[in-house]
């Protein structure tokens, strides 16, 4: 069976086995290394991508589930107006320390602001809670989301 994915606006024919988790297709087959593998158990948020505009984890779900859907990875996030604002706000607020969780957080923040342009603090915290940052940069991440929402 041949799968076709649209990733960051480009159609790809996928050669990996259909039960391969999406992240391995992104990183190993398509060489899109911005999406990070953390726990591999859908518990840390490092592997987040957007599927049809909504945040989704890519580490455990087979690629065949995403057949025909629009996938946006961190490599394509700045192609959207909101994604560009979020990236710039993360930079301005130095909202990354080691950076391992950052791509997942930027993707999640972009999905949040796409759905809720002016989230209150509780809404932002709830949306970003599944994304773990062991460096403790969450206060700066929250400021970055607020800045991105305001610009
Ligand atoms: Fe997917 Fe941790 S790597 S949630």
pLDDT digits (tens, 9 = 90+) for 82-130: 999 999 999 999 999 999 999 999 999 999 999 999 999 999 999 999 9
Percent of the chain exceeding pLDDT 90 equals 96
Going from the Cα of 120 to the center of ligand 1, the distance in angstroms, rounded, reads 26
**CA pair distance 58, 110, nearest whole angstrom:** 16
- For residue 114, give Cα distances in angstroms to 61, 105, 144, 145, 147: 23, 14, 15, 12, 14
What does the pLDDT read at residue 2? 80
- For residue 132, give Cα distances in angstroms to 9, 34, 74, 96: 28, 17, 17, 12
Mark residue 95 as left, alpha or beta (left: phi above 0; alpha: psi -120 to 50; beta: remaining): alpha
Going from the Cα of 151 to the center of ligand 1, the distance in angstroms, rounded, reads 30
| Residue range 41-94, pLDDT digits in tens | 999 999 999 999 999 999 999 999 999 899 999 999 999 999 999 999 999 999
Going from the Cα of 32 to the center of ligand 1, the distance in angstroms, rounded, reads 16
Say if ligand 1 is within 6 A of residue 39 CB.
yes
Q: What are phi and psi of 57, to 5 degrees?
A: -90, 145
Mutate-to-test residue for ligand 1 from 22, 26, 41, 131, highest number of ligand atoms within 8 A of CB: 41
């Amino acid at each position: 069976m041949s799968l076709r994915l649209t990733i960051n606006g480009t159609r790809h024919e996928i050669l990996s086995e259909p039960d391969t988790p999406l992240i391995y297709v992104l990183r190993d087959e398509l060489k899109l290394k911005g999406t990070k593998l953390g726990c591999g158990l859908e518990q840390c948020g490092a592997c987040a991508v957007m599927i049809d505009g909504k945040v989704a984890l890519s580490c455990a779900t087979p690629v065949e589930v995403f057949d025909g859907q629009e996938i946006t990875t961190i490599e394509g996030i700045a192609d959207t107006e909101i994604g560009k604002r979020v990236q710039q706000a993360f930079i301005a607020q130095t909202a990354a320390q080691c950076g391992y969780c950052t791509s997942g957080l930027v993707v999640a923040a972009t999905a949040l602001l796409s759905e809720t342009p002016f989230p209150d603090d509780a809404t932002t915290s709830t949306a970003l809670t599944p994304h773990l940052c062991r460096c403790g940069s969450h206060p700066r991440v929250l400021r970055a989301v607020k800045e991105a929402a305001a610009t």
